[in-house]
Amino acid sequence: MTDSVGVNVVGVEIINVDATDPNNALVNYQLLPLTATVSSATFTAPGATQTKTNLTGNFSFSFDQNNLLAGDNILQLSVQINGFSSNKTVVATRTNMQVFNEEFTSFLILFEFNGANVSVRVPVNHDIYELFYEFSYSVPIIPTSKTIKVGNSLVNITTPALLLVPTKISIFGGIPQWTEEHLYRSNLGDQFNQIMSDDLNTLPPQSSHFRSKRSSNNQFFAPGTNLQSVAEIKLLVIEKDIFPFSYVNKEIDVDLP
C-alpha cells in the first residue's frame, strides 16, 4: 500500500487509550512509517463520528466515556489511502458493578417510663449499596486514566421493635426525620458531599422501622486510589421527639475495587 506521494505505508498502530479526561478520552495512533501521510481517517465511537485529513506520524481521536453502553463498545478507525482502506478496532467494555456493606450502629435514647427517666442503647442496622461502572479496553491505557464512574448510592436504616422502648423513626409532615450525608473518599480526600433524598419505592416497603435514602453522582476516578462510598447519619429523630445521642459508628462505607 502507498500513500499519495508513493511512500510505502506499513500500517496504523494503536498506541493506547488516555482517559485522564473521561469526557474527552483519546485513542492514540501511530502511522508507520512516521513520514507517511494518509489522505483521510474516520473515527467512529458511540455518540461520535470524526474525520481528519492529511495525517502523519502520531495522531489521536477523542470520545466521551459517558457515551459507552453496558457491555462491549466498538471504537473504530478507518483509514483511506489511494482507494485502499485499513480498519483498526478498540473494544471498550463498560461493566456495571454493585457492592454492598452493612454494619451496626447504636445510640442512646432517654425517655420517661413509669415516671422515671430511662436510658436505653438501641442497635440500628445501617447498610449501603453502591452501583458504579468500570471501563476497560482491549489495548493499553494511560495509568492516570479515570476508568471508574460513580454512582448511585442507596442507604437503609432499620431500627428494632423493642418492647416498651420507643424505636420508631419519627415522621413530620410525611417526611422521615432522618438526615444522611453521602460522599466519596479516596487518596484525594473527601469529595462530592451531598445530602441524600428519601426513597419511598423499595422492597421491603418503607415503614416506621425501615427507611431508605438515595443519591446519585456522575464523577470519574482512577483505579488504585482506595476509593470508598461513605454515608453518615447526621440527624435521626425517634418517635415522641426523642433525639438519640452518644452514637457508636454513625458512618458506613464500602470499598470500590
- What pLDDT digit, counting tens, does each position of 16-31 carry? 999 999 999 999 999 8
**Distance from CA of residue 244 to its chain's centroid?**
32
> DSSP assignment, residue 168?
P
> Per the structure block, which three cell numbers stand in for 111?
425517655
Check whether domain 11-92 has CATH 3.40.50.1820, yes or no = no
Residue 190 in contact with residue 215, Cβ under 8 Å? no
- For residue 17, the SS3 value is strand
pLDDT at 41 over 50: yes
**b vs e for 202-227, b when ≥16 Cβ sit within 10 Å of the residue's Cβ?**
eeeebeeeebbbbbebeebbbbeeeb
Q: Which of 36-45, 71-80, 128-137, 238-247 has the lowest mean pLDDT?
A: 36-45
pLDDT band at 6 (very low <50, low <70, confident <90, very high): very low
pLDDT band at 5 (very low <50, low <70, confident <90, very high): very low
- What pLDDT digit, counting tens, does each position of 92-151 carry? 999 999 999 999 999 999 999 888 999 999 999 999 999 999 999 999 999 999 999 998
Classify residue 125 as exposed, middle or buried by CB count within 10 Å of its CB (0-12, 13-18, 19+). Answer: middle
The CA distance from 204 to 105, in Å, is 21
Q: What are phi and psi of 227, to 5 degrees?
A: -75, 135
Residue with cell 498506541: 15
pLDDT at 65 over 90: yes
Residue 230 in contact with residue 251, Cβ under 8 Å? yes
Determine the average pLDDT of the residues in 200-206.
91
pLDDT band at 59 (very low <50, low <70, confident <90, very high): very high
Q: Closest by alpha carbon to 213, among 99, 129, 88, 95?
A: 129
Q: Which string of DSSP letters, residue by residue, matches 27-72?
A: EEEEEESTT-EEEEEEEEETTEEEEEEEEESEEEEEE-GGGPPBEE
**Which pLDDT does position 10 carry in this prediction?**
54
Residue 43 in contact with residue 50, Cβ under 8 Å? yes
**Which pLDDT does position 7 carry in this prediction?**
45
**Which pLDDT does position 151 carry in this prediction?**
85
In the chain, what are the domain boundaries? 11-92, 95-255
pLDDT at 9 over 70: no
**Which pLDDT does position 257 carry in this prediction?**
79
Residue 22 in contact with residue 220, Cβ under 8 Å? yes
- What pLDDT digit, counting tens, does each position of 162-176 carry? 999 999 999 998 899
pLDDT at 43 over 80: yes
**Which pLDDT does position 82 carry in this prediction?**
64
pLDDT at 3 over 50: no
Strands of the sheet with 25-32, listed across from one edge? 11-18, 25-32, 58-63
Q: Which of 47-51, 58-62, 201-205, 251-255 has the lowest mean pLDDT?
A: 201-205
